[in-house]
Every structure is written in C-alpha cells, then in structure tokens.
A and B are shown apart, each in its own frame.
Chain A
C-alpha cells in the first residue's frame, strides 16, 4: 500500500505521524518512507543515518550560439517566459523554465539541445533494520519542488509498503505526492485553522480520488467541530493524540513517541490497518 500523510495546515504533525507509523511497521515488516516535503524535509532528523546522495536534475535548454539565427521562435513559444531573444544573443532564465522541451522542438535550426541542471538531491539511507528512508531535498532558492518529489517517489517504486510524508498546503507539491497513492491520512489539530485547512485537504484528496482518514493531533478535547465535520463527510477518525507536554518534548528533540513510549505502537499499527480497510482501498 502507498499511504500518504497530508494536511492543509502546516505544523499539525504530519512528520510525527509518518515517522511513528514507519517506525512501528518496520518492527515487523519492510517499510519505505519517502519525505516528499522537499522544501523543508524533516524525517531525516528522526532517523539519523549515513545516506548516499543522488542528484535530481531537470533538462534545461542550452543554445548552440553559432547555429542560432536569433529568429525568436523559442521565446515566442515558451509559455513561461524563460527565453528572451536579443539581436545578438539569447537570455535564459532557468528558474522560470518548466523543462517541457518545447524550445528544442520549435527551433528551426536545431540550435537548442538540453543539458541536465541540478534542482535538488535524494538521500537514501537505511536507518533501522527493515526501514528504508528516501529523503528529497530541494536546493535552496530553487522553485521546482515537483521534479524532486517525482524522483523521490520513483525511487520507492515496487516497494511493498510505502509511507509518503507530504508538504503542507493544497497545490502542486501535494498533488504530486498524493497522485497514485492508495490512501491518505489527513492530520489536523482542534483549532479553527486546523479545521479550515482540513476541509481543503479533504477536497484535494477527493478530487484526486484518494480515500482519506483523519488523525487529530494535539487535541485539547475541544474537537466537536472537527468530529462533526468528519461525520458529515464520512471520514474515519483513525486516531486522536492528546496535547501533552511530554509528547511535545519527545517530538521537539527529534525522538519518536513509539520508541520512547512503546505503548503507543498498537495505536499506530491500528491506523495502518484502518487505512487498509478504508472504503475504496484495494
């Protein structure tokens, strides 16, 4: 099963749920955990280990100056404004390029070829027996999160149990991570912000056809509105984790709840089994 952990709102505890789920499952079966929050990946902080790096590159145009006649067809075609043709040279703005390859197709002189450009890195490690960690990291200042997520997911292709930790929000990085997953866990917190953003996340999961369940984190008991929302939308509450200074402290120092307090393992194992049983999961 490919299981994604998502949330509209940031900081609700996605990585905490993903890390504890992976840790618990890895005690009994092989698991791959993929950090798809490539803008701010955090899972490696909970699973320190020596990693091997693998660059993520995207193809970008390179102009063969002597062949270019400065006709301007490439810049006219580029929908992203990444190419500007001057009478004597071509300016290329790589941060605007989406690597579609359009410019190489339209150039009548064949003066554009493509070269790989690094946008991020994958770090692969085996922090625990049975656990494989694939951590995608976007290079600082690069806007192109999606190719890094795509490559990180590819690296886990064929693995039997895959847990994907996604970025907060509801736009391209989340869509890229959720796409093709069998189920997702939406982590929320019992505040109006948490509920507002949970509604958005539920909407994204539904549009992508990914069955969803909910984990309420840092609950202070005032979860009525969230519970009502879940009832109205037929969403299973997979687990409620109370607000507790000790749990917060375990998390903040980079430790795992299920390691420090093994009595939590059965709850996380139950989440996984409930996800397998969600309506629509094959």
Chain B
C-alpha cells in the first residue's frame, strides 16, 4: 500500500478539491481519509453512505468535586494551563484549557480532583463511489486534533490495509495535526497558490516534511492568477529538486462543482478538470517510483 497525503501549508489552496478529483482518477483501489479533522470537507464532495461511527476520546480531563473541595487553591497554583477557575466561591476546571496532565490530582491534599474520560469527537467510516472514506468530527474547541488524525489513519489502515493506495486529505499548517498526517507517508503533494503567502507557506511546510521521509511533490492551483509568482514557484521547485507535477488554472467550474457537491473531474471537461488529469497521470508515474524504491 502506498500512503499518500495532499497538504498545503496555507489553507484554502484547493487540497480537498484536488484530493477528490485524484480519488476519481487514480487507478487501483483506494481508501480515503480526511485528516483535516478541524474542518473536514471531503465528504461534501462524495455524499458518502455512513457505515459506522465510533466515539473518539482524547486526553482525559480533570474534574473537581465541589462538594468535598477544601478550597486550598493548590490545583490553581500548580496548573500551568490556567485551567482552574475560581467562580462563585468554588474552583472548577475549564475543559477548553485543561490539557489532561493530572498535576492537579497529584497536588490536591483532599483528593477531590479526578481525571475523567471525555469524548471530544467522532470517527466516521463511510462508503463512497471511489472507496471507503474515514472522516472525523472534532467537537468545536476541543484539543487533541493530532491524536484524532492518528486515530483516523489507524482505522483506515486496519480496515482497508489491503488497498493499493491510501489517499489522505491533509490539514493546513505545520503543527501537530500536519505532523501526525505526514508521519509514515510515502509521498506528499503540496498544493500551493501563486501569492506571497502561498510561497512562504510552501517553503515552511517543505522544511517540516523534510524532517520526515516522504517524497515531496508540488502542484500550483490557480496558477494563472499571478504568472509572476507562479514562475517564482517553478524556479524554486527546480532549485530544490522538487518535482512540479501540475498547474491548475483558475476556473469557475471548480466552485460550481463544489456547489453541486461533486469532484470537478466529474462535472464535464473544464480547463481545471483537464489540468488535474495531467496532474493525476504525472502522479501515477511518481508513485510508481515510490512503490519501486520500497
């Protein structure tokens, strides 16, 4: 199985649109995972048929029993996350701030703080026309998105480990969820856009990827919106010896397809769809190298 993720650094460059189109175009059977667990959108392009839902429990959360609390304030003094709040004459834990370290349970002289499991999201397993999809929903404001990404990937590998390809729609950024997404992948495609922000974020996410082992590929979305910056990206990729495997033009057909809830490659032959077909063909070649070198 080849494990492959679509990422971007900068948000909104078109990761999900590209992932959905690739799912339709790439040969062989595949399993899909949406690892942008904060704001999972891949399902909006596939109208998936839900097979099952599993609860996700992240780190435990501290809970103070106010009926036996001696109000000494030790928990507040030792908590480094300002999660202990003093309100209406008693202490309580703010679950949005609690990181689950359990220091409060250790320092409490009256043993009134306990660590309780909390459900912070759910993991859904669905059927789409392109293969199974593992997607998740993190409760808004909840932490542990990196752990949830790990859990999503694990379910996909366990249930569909025999597929030829594991295709992941990744999160933006370079932090915990991104690192969790790219760890263990064979290749990543960075979708960027021709803007100063796009280029800056591309360079940063590549620096992070290089601390891991995947082969790095780049595609430019909406490349014709700024020919100068697109040229900069091309030159940079050449200097860094990163294959630039696709250039997708700005095309209103993309937004139209999103509004219809389908991958753009299923909405007829538009300039964007044609460009993604070339991208997919180039990607097949690149993934073959990855498969051979393993």
Interface residues, chain A, with chain B CB atoms under 8 Å away: 8-12, 15, 37-40, 42, 45, 77, 79-80, 98-102, 105-106, 138, 140-145, 167-175, 179, 189, 191-193, 196-197, 200-201, 203-204, 207-208, 220, 222, 245, 248-249, 251-254
Interchain pairs with CB closer than 8 A, number? 197
* Contact partners of B102 in chain A: CB under 8 A: 77, 79, 102
Q: Find A145's partner among B41, B100, B176, B255 (CB 8 Å cutoff).
A: B176
* Contact partners of A222 in chain B: CB under 8 A: 259
**Shortest Cβ distance from A168 into B: residue:** B11
With contacts A39-B175, A40-B204, A204-B141 known, is A79 near B226, CB below 8 A? no
Q: Find A200's partner among B11, B39, B145, B208 (CB 8 Å cutoff).
A: B39
Interface residues, chain B, with chain A CB atoms under 8 Å away: 8-13, 16, 37-39, 41, 44, 59-60, 78, 80-81, 96-97, 99-103, 106-107, 115, 138, 140-146, 171-179, 193-198, 200-201, 204-205, 207-208, 211, 225-226, 228-229, 252, 255, 258-259, 261
Q: B258: shortest Cβ distance to chain A, in Å?
A: 5
Complex alpha-carbon distance, A39 and B8, angstroms: 12
With contacts A10-B10, A196-B39 known, is A175 near B141, CB below 8 A? yes
Contact check, A12 vs B175: say whether CB atoms are below 8 A apart: no
* Contact partners of A207 in chain B: CB under 8 A: 96, 140-141
Q: B198: shortest Cβ distance to chain A, in Å?
A: 8
Complex alpha-carbon distance, A175 and B223, angstroms: 34
**Shortest Cβ distance from A169 into B: residue:** B38
* Contact partners of A197 in chain B: CB under 8 A: 39, 41
* Contact partners of B81 in chain A: CB under 8 A: 100
Contact check, B174 vs A100: say whether CB atoms are below 8 A apart: no
Q: Find A39's partner among B39, B59, B178, B194 (CB 8 Å cutoff).
A: B178
Complex alpha-carbon distance, A8 and B175, angstroms: 16
Q: B262: shortest Cβ distance to chain A, in Å?
A: 11
Complex alpha-carbon distance, A168 and B207, angstroms: 20
Contact check, B175 vs A143: say whether CB atoms are below 8 A apart: yes
Report 8 cross-chain contacts, Cβ distance below 8 Å, ordered by A residue.
Answer: A11-B10, A40-B201, A79-B101, A79-B102, A143-B146, A144-B175, A170-B138, A197-B39
- Name 13 extra pairs, CB < 8 A, besides A39-B172, A77-B102, A171-B37: A10-B172, A40-B174, A100-B80, A102-B106, A138-B174, A140-B204, A141-B208, A167-B172, A167-B173, A168-B38, A170-B140, A192-B259, A252-B197
Which of B44, B107, B138, B195 counts the most chain A CB atoms within 10 A?
Answer: B195
Interface SS of chain B: loop
**Shortest Cβ distance from A142 into B: residue:** B175
* Contact partners of A174 in chain B: CB under 8 A: 38, 141
* Contact partners of A101 in chain B: CB under 8 A: 78, 80, 103
With contacts A40-B172, A140-B174, A192-B261 known, is A252 near B195, CB below 8 A? yes
Q: B220: shortest Cβ distance to chain A, in Å?
A: 12
Q: B199: shortest Cβ distance to chain A, in Å?
A: 9
Contact check, A105 vs B258: say whether CB atoms are below 8 A apart: no
Complex alpha-carbon distance, A133 and B193, angstroms: 25
Q: A237: shortest Cβ distance to chain B, in Å?
A: 20
* Contact partners of B204 in chain A: CB under 8 A: 39-40, 140
Complex alpha-carbon distance, A167 and B201, angstroms: 13
With contacts A11-B12, A169-B39, A170-B39 known, is A140 near B211, CB below 8 A? yes
Q: Find B99's partner among A11, A98, A253 (CB 8 Å cutoff).
A: A98
Q: B41: shortest Cβ distance to chain A, in Å?
A: 5
Q: B111: shortest Cβ distance to chain A, in Å?
A: 15
Complex alpha-carbon distance, A8 and B256, angstroms: 21
Contact check, A99 vs B258: say whether CB atoms are below 8 A apart: no
Contact check, A168 vs B173: say whether CB atoms are below 8 A apart: yes
* Contact partners of A179 in chain B: CB under 8 A: 96-97
Which of B11, B176, B193 counts the most chain A CB atoms within 10 A?
Answer: B11
**Shortest Cβ distance from A206 into B: residue:** B140
6 nearest CB pairs, A to B: A10-B11, A11-B12, A169-B38, A100-B101, A252-B195, A39-B173
* Contact partners of B103 in chain A: CB under 8 A: 100-102, 105
Complex alpha-carbon distance, A99 and B10, angstroms: 28
Q: A138: shortest Cβ distance to chain B, in Å?
A: 6
Q: B129: shortest Cβ distance to chain A, in Å?
A: 18
Contact check, A251 vs B39: say whether CB atoms are below 8 A apart: no
Complex alpha-carbon distance, A90 and B115, angstroms: 26
Complex alpha-carbon distance, A222 and B258, angstroms: 13
Complex alpha-carbon distance, A197 and B200, angstroms: 24
Which of A15, A39, A168, A197 counts the most chain B CB atoms within 10 A?
Answer: A39
Q: B222: shortest Cβ distance to chain A, in Å?
A: 9
Q: Find A171's partner among B115, B145, B226 (CB 8 Å cutoff).
A: B145
